[in-house]
Each structure stands twice: as C-alpha cells, then as structure tokens.
C-alpha cells in the first residue's frame, strides 16, 4: 500500500479514502486534496488513480 496522502497535497484524478472515517473522495482533476468533508481529518489512502499501486487502469 502506498503511504497516506495528506490534505493539501497535489494529486491526480482518482479515488481517495479517508484514513480516519473511510469517506471516499473522487476527484476528476484537482490541485490540492482538501480535508475530509465528512470528518475534517487530513489523511487519505489512494484507492484508484493517483499513485495507487492497485490501480487496474494506471494509464487513465
């Protein structure tokens, strides 16, 4: 698993899950990852896209 991504990090499009509450945030194209809209924490794991090592479509 990739290291958690902090809020405020520049990320590419993908799906990110809050490491605190599990909220999944989908981004199309974003410059800075926001704090979690559900719990306000600021750390995510990458599910798809971005730098996910498990991304089944890494070229998308």
> DSSP string spanning the chain?
-PPPEETT--B-SEEEEETTT--EEEESSBSSPPPPTTT---EEEEEEETT-TT-S-TT-
Q: Is the pTM of this model over 0.85?
A: no
pLDDT on residue 55: 44
- Domains of the chain with CATH codes: 5-49 (2.20.28)
Taking only the tens place, the pLDDT of each residue in 31-59 is 788 899 999 999 999 998 865 555 444 44
Report the DSSP pairing between strands 5-6 and 43-49: antiparallel
CA–CA distance, 42 with 48 (Å, rounded to integer): 18
Q: Radius of gyration of the chain from Cα atoms?
A: 10
């Amino acid at each position: 698993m990739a290291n958690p991504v902090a809020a405020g990090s520049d990320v590419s499009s993908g799906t990110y899950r809050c490491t605190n509450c599990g909220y999944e945030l989908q981004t199309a194209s974003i410059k800075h990852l926001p704090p979690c809209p559900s719990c306000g924490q600021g750390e995510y794991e990458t599910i798809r896209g971005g730098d996910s090592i498990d991304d089944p479509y890494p070229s998308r």
